[in-house]
Amino acid sequence: MVLFINACARSDSRTLRLGRHVLRRLGKDYEELVLDRERIQPLYSERLAARDALIGAGKLDDEFFKYARQFAEADEIVVAVPYWDLSFSAVLKNYIEAINVIGITFSYSDMGVPGGLCRAKRLIYVTTAGGQIYNDELGFGYIKTLCRTFYGIGELEYFKAEGLDVAGADVEGILCAAEAEIDEKLTV
Ligand SMILES: Cc1cc2nc3c(=O)[nH]c(=O)nc-3n(C[C@H](O)[C@H](O)[C@H](O)COP(=O)(O)O)c2cc1C
């Protein structure tokens, strides 16, 4: 099953439009996780203590870790997230904190080297920006490094549309060009 992580916030989200285009092109069944609905909290002190206690007791099957288990079990992952503040919105970071669980999505060797426990071989990352994405490494690059270092997901695909909020921008033209690029480059 494909896991679609929908981290979009606006009702007429352009990022979501491109994410749905990717899903259509893939043509596979998918499970959608709408982060705006999930309201995953950061690891504030109480949450962190609760998490540490569960991990200490070996209770990795607890509800607390449902997102980590879902991520680890997915066959393929699609992420749609808007480009905010030079990277991505914080709801995705909260989600990452929820899924980075030793013993579920990754583990450490005796030498302290992380290794992936996730089934997926590929993650497809989709974003849109109001202006230019000056450094892909701050958003996509961070997710790519997480995938390769922690999750064991080696294959990454990246689709973006830029300049959508620039005065006079041909928004429809930019989005259509991004969809055409997805049609051309996405391996299905
Ligand atoms: C909180 C916030 C932060 C943003 N930060 C940036 C930014 O750093 N650079 C940029 O080019 N656009 C930025 N934008 C504009 C969004 O990237 C742009 O509108 C994007 O297309 C939003 O995607 P959506 O249509 O899926 O909501 C920001 C928008 C918001 C709401």
Centroid of ligand 1 to alpha carbon of 129 (angstroms): 5
pLDDT confidence band for 156 (50 / 70 / 90): very high
Sign of the C-alpha dihedral computed for residues 169, 89, 150 and 68 taken in this order: negative
Average pLDDT over residues 130-138: 98
Whether residue 1 has its Cβ less than 6 Å from ligand 1: no
Cα separation, 181 vs 16, in Å, equals: 16
* Size of the chain, expressed as the number of residues it contains: 188
Domains in the chain (CATH in brackets) are: 2-185 (3.40.50.360)
Give me 178's structure tokens.
């991004």
Q: What is the mean pLDDT of the chain?
A: 98
pTM, two decimals, is: 0.98
Give me 46's structure tokens.
């109480």
Summarize pLDDT for 49-96 with one digit per residue, the tens. 999 999 999 999 999 999 999 999 999 999 999 999 999 999 999 999
